[in-house]
Amino acid sequence: MSAENQLTDFTDRPWLDPDARPFITLQGISKSFGSFKAVDNIDLDIYRGELFVLLGGSGCGKTTLLRMLAGFETPTAGTLSIDGADMSSTAPYERPVNMMFQSYALFPHMTVEKNVAYGLKRDGVKKAEIKQRVDEMLQMVELQDFRKRKPDQLSGGQRQRVALARALIKRPKVLLLDEPLGALDKRLREQTQFELMNLQDKLGTTFIVVTHDQEEAMTLATRIAVMDQGVFRQVGTPAEIYETPATRFIAGFIGSANMFDGSVEQQRGNLVSVRLNTGDLVISVEHDEPIANGTAVTVAVRPEKIRVSKQQPEPGTDNVMRGSVKEMAYLGRNSTLRVAIEGGQVLEVNSQNRYRARDGQHEFDWDDQVTVSFPPASAVLLTA
């Protein structure tokens, strides 16, 4: 992960470049509603051209943060600048920022065309230019044929595209998207995800997306900030957040993870042995930083990184545990098993269905005695 062994090509990862100038800077941003702290002392740099995702559950403060960027909420403390200009007390109608609302907020009394043209009209752009730019924009979102329709005569997907066109037509420096795909059904959502990414790539506009959907965040983002109770729990690329979660919270929040609580027995090189609190088990985990013996830690392993087998593992295999299948969910491509291991802990394990199940005969079944194992490199050692 360190930048030293890479050559200095930071075009896709400006946040690693010590010389890069951030495009959006938040410093100590807080927002309280009465005694409730919605956003609590947040610092963040976002770079030009990023597709930055704010991910979190409802009430975590992500929408409040977005609304502060748009100018609908005034921060209680802290400063906010976009492209070098301080925006802390700039009104929304004077910010170089546009927003796509969760409800789309299309003006119901205006046609598609008028909705899209609205922002340009307010800027006093000449009529001919408005017409040309609206044409271009409608073409881009493939709504040329719907220009005279009112919003209530459009389908959900079409409305979403009008909202997008309306927000993009002013060529904002930053586009804010509040749950952009939340109102679409699953199939349309997956398709639209890629359309959104292509569009962002083509325009090079900085996108900031708010979502509660982690799959959506993983698909879209250059970087994700996981938010909880008004603070960032971790900021990083999707792979960083999934593969090296910083805390138990992140490991549990993104995807699912099996967590083993224990304490450090010894560290040899980058291998740490952890004695678990339950049962008489010692597991080894790769960990680069030095860690003192006796430290209370958690070992997190993703379900798909655990091998499950009915056979005895070859000698020398690391982290082997015996157990029995307690529950099984057949998902087609793979199956999710719940395996109770010695000591009583139940692990979630994914098993690829490499063979066709016939007559209800699966590779694994209830109460099968199995062994599970994972290499030390597949697990993460967490201290928080």
217 binds another protein (CB under 8 A): no
Please say which residue, 71 or 180, places its beta carbon nearer to another protein: 71
Which of 12, 41, 59, 103 touches another protein by CB under 8 A? 103
Which of 26, 97, 281, 285 touches another protein by CB under 8 A? 97
Q: How far apart are CA 62 and CA 346, in angstroms?
A: 33
371 binds another protein (CB under 8 A): no
Which of 31, 62, 161, 166 touches another protein by CB under 8 A? 166
Q: Which helix (H) or strand (E) holds 267?
A: strand 258-268
Q: Which helix (H) or strand (E) holds 337?
A: strand 334-341
Which of 37, 49, 81, 92 touches another protein by CB under 8 A? 92
Which residue, chain included where needed, has tokens 């807080």?
Answer: 30
126 binds another protein (CB under 8 A): no
- Please report how close the Cβ of residue 167 comes to another protein at its closest, in angstroms: 8
189 binds another protein (CB under 8 A): no
Which of 155, 263, 266, 369 touches another protein by CB under 8 A? 155
Do the bridges between strand 77-82 and strand 85-86 make them parallel or antiparallel, or are there none, so unpaired? antiparallel
Q: How far apart are CA 300 and CA 64, in angstroms?
A: 32
Shortest CA distance to 35 belongs to which of 4, 93, 3, 76? 76
Shortest CA distance to 259 belongs to which of 373, 348, 340? 348
Among the candidate windows 87-95, 217-225, 306-314, 332-340, which touches another protein by CB under 8 A?
87-95
Q: Give the Å distances, CA to CA, from 359 to 116, 216, 329, 363.
A: 57, 36, 16, 12
Structure tokens at 298: 């958690």
328 binds another protein (CB under 8 A): no
Please say which residue, 168 or 250, places its beta carbon nearer to another protein: 168
102 binds another protein (CB under 8 A): yes
188 binds another protein (CB under 8 A): no
365 binds another protein (CB under 8 A): no
Please say which residue, 119 or 236, places its beta carbon nearer to another protein: 119
- Please report how close the Cβ of residue 38 comes to another protein at its closest, in angstroms: 13
119 binds another protein (CB under 8 A): yes
154 binds another protein (CB under 8 A): yes
Question: Residue 369: left (phi > 0), alpha (psi -120 to 50), or beta?
Answer: beta
279 binds another protein (CB under 8 A): no
Among the candidate windows 150-158, 230-238, 276-284, 374-382, which touches another protein by CB under 8 A?
150-158
Please say which residue, 107 or 330, places its beta carbon nearer to another protein: 107
Chain-centre distance for alpha carbon 211: 8
Q: How far apart are CA 289 and CA 208, in angstroms?
A: 33
Task: List alpha helices for the chain, DSSP H.
Answer: 62-70, 112-122, 127-140, 156-168, 186-203, 214-220, 238-243, 248-253
Among the candidate windows 152-160, 267-275, 281-289, 322-330, which touches another protein by CB under 8 A?
152-160
- Please report how close the Cβ of residue 194 comes to another protein at its closest, in angstroms: 23
- Please report how close the Cβ of residue 152 comes to another protein at its closest, in angstroms: 6
- Please report how close the Cβ of residue 382 comes to another protein at its closest, in angstroms: 39
For 116-137, give the DSSP string: HHHHHHHTT--HHHHHHHHHHH
Among the candidate windows 8-16, 75-83, 119-127, 334-342, which touches another protein by CB under 8 A?
119-127
Q: Give the Å distances, CA to CA, from 100 to 156, 208, 209, 373.
A: 14, 10, 9, 46
Structure tokens at 278: 């339950």
Query: Which value, in Å, is the radius of gyration of the alpha carbons in the chain?
Result: 25
Which of 122, 127, 148, 310 touches another protein by CB under 8 A? 122
Q: Give the Å distances, CA to CA, from 287 to 305, 325, 383.
A: 17, 30, 11
**What is the contact surface with another protein in residues (CB under 8 A)?**
70-74, 89, 91-94, 97-99, 101-103, 105-109, 118-119, 122-123, 150, 152-156, 158, 166-167, 170
